[in-house]
Amino acid sequence: MEPQRTCKLFGAVRAVLGIKDALPLIHGPLGCSYHIRYLLSVRSNKPVKILTTGMNQTDVVFGAEDKLENAIFRVDKEYSPNLIVVLTSCASSIIGEDIGRVIKKIRNNIKPEIININAGGFEGTQIDGYEESLCALIDLMYKSEFKKDAVNLVSQFRGGPDLGNLKDDFGKLKIDINCVLTSNSTLEMIKNAGQASLNVSMCEASGILPCKVMQDKLDIPFLNEIAPIGVSSSSSFFRKICDFFNVKYKLKDDEVNARSKIEKYSEYLKGKKVAIVAGSTRAIALTDFVSELGMKPLLVSLDFEGRNTINTLEEIIKKNGINPVILKEPEYYDIYKYIKELMPDLILGGLGEIGISREMNIPLFDVMHAQEITMGFRGAVELIKNIKKILADQ
């Protein structure tokens, strides 16, 4: 009744928005674009462009392929993107609008490239939408000569300072980030993603399938490591990638520095109780990180589960000798109920937990959507500084 997950269209829109010169055009009623745009612009603190055909009552009875055709011409003329991605919504999927026929008819009369993705909300979750969109983008990639020491980051949602910091770390290792699927990438970068000699899945839930498809189509092997959040996970993440390329691990000083800076906070943080509410990738890495610091994760709530999530989480729980309540793809009420019962000192979650935080007077640190750096060694230090500050301000 109160799922923490959302619809396939949401995931598809997120994938398209990560491409700087692409635009999503939703063939659907007003609400689909408005609510997704509203949420994503609040979360990212920046303007977000999501276009819609604005289907009305007549359109959902008699079809609106003409309206879609006109909208595509308008997007080309008024916005001039390099790629238009037409996404169906529940309404256009249910009435079976023939998007492929419309695209075929006008493809040669517009400048941008154009593809379509079935993204009716009832067809799956945001993870399905994201995975399917990446697979549609893989169809645009060429098989080509591999560049030396070049990597694609696959299913990397966070752009901004977090991605910038990660790029700096790869720069120190002299490993080239060829393409980030999809964050701050361009259509050209996506087409050339086949030049990378390694893919790294950055999302436990939505990264592995696209990596497998690229392995089959483009012969690119892939790694699926715990996200580089926290010192140990960052160390293991970068070392595995260095091993693959047979390059020297040049982040040793950063690692030692981060450990010594974090050490100063450990006495204060030791024994503090934490509830972690996140997607599988972040939840796993954060559980490991806070446990290493002597904090006590009482609750680990996984918004969605990836293919290896539970096994990996169980290994981390065993390694750290902890015993948190684990909620798998929970209802919002379950999260509310357990946090109220367990009364942690801190919630590591997202904007969705603001209401719980305020009502129960438990501080919240937004590890999901904020602009803070959370990945790599610098991210580990920033995370701990922020956690300490939030707890101390309480």
User: For binding to ligand SF4 (CB under 6 A), which residues are involved?
Assistant: 7, 9, 28, 32, 89-90, 120-121
Neighbours of 336 (CB within 10 A): 17
To ligand SF4, the closest distance from the beta carbon of 184 in angstroms equals: 26
- If you compute the radius of gyration of the chain from its CA atoms, what whole number of angstroms results? 22
Smallest separation, CB 28 to ligand SF4 (Å)? 6
Rounded to a whole number of angstroms, the minimum distance from the CB of residue 64 to ligand SF4 is: 15
Smallest separation, CB 126 to ligand SF4 (Å) = 9
Q: Looking at beta carbons only, is 53 or 374 nearer to ligand SF4?
A: 53
> Do the beta carbons of residue 103 and residue 68 sit within 8 Å?
no
The residue number with the shortest CB distance to ligand SF4 is 121
How many helices, marked H, and strands, marked E, lie in the chain? Answer: 17, 13
Q: What's the closest the beta carbon of residue 252 comes to ligand SF4, in angstroms?
A: 47
Nearest to 251 by CA among 380, 159, 163, 154: 380
Under DSSP, is residue 201 helix (H, G, I), strand (E, B) or coil?
A: strand
Long-range contacts of 381-384 (CB under 8 A, 24+ apart): 381/258, 381/261, 381/262, 383/229, 383/230, 383/289, 384/261, 384/262, 384/265, 384/269, 384/293
State in angstroms the smallest separation of the CB of 124 from ligand SF4.
Answer: 10
The nearer residue to ligand SF4, 118 or 224, going by C-beta atoms, is: 118
Which CB, 131 or 292, lies closer to ligand SF4? 131
Q: Which is nearer to ligand SF4, 91 or 231 (CB)?
A: 91
Choice between 9 and 209, CB closer to ligand SF4: 9
Of 4 and 201, the one with the shorter C-beta distance to ligand SF4 is 4
Q: In angstroms, give the least distance from the CB of 37 to ligand SF4.
A: 11
Residue type, 137: L
Supply 354's token pair.
Answer: 């603001």
Residue 373 phi/psi, 5-degree rounding, is: -85, 130
Nearer to ligand SF4 by Cβ, of 90 and 284: the residue is: 90
DSSP per-residue string spanning 253-299: HHHHHHHHHHHHHHHHHTT-EEEEEE-HHHHHHHHHHHHHTT-EEEE
As a whole number of Å, the end-to-end CA separation of the chain is: 33
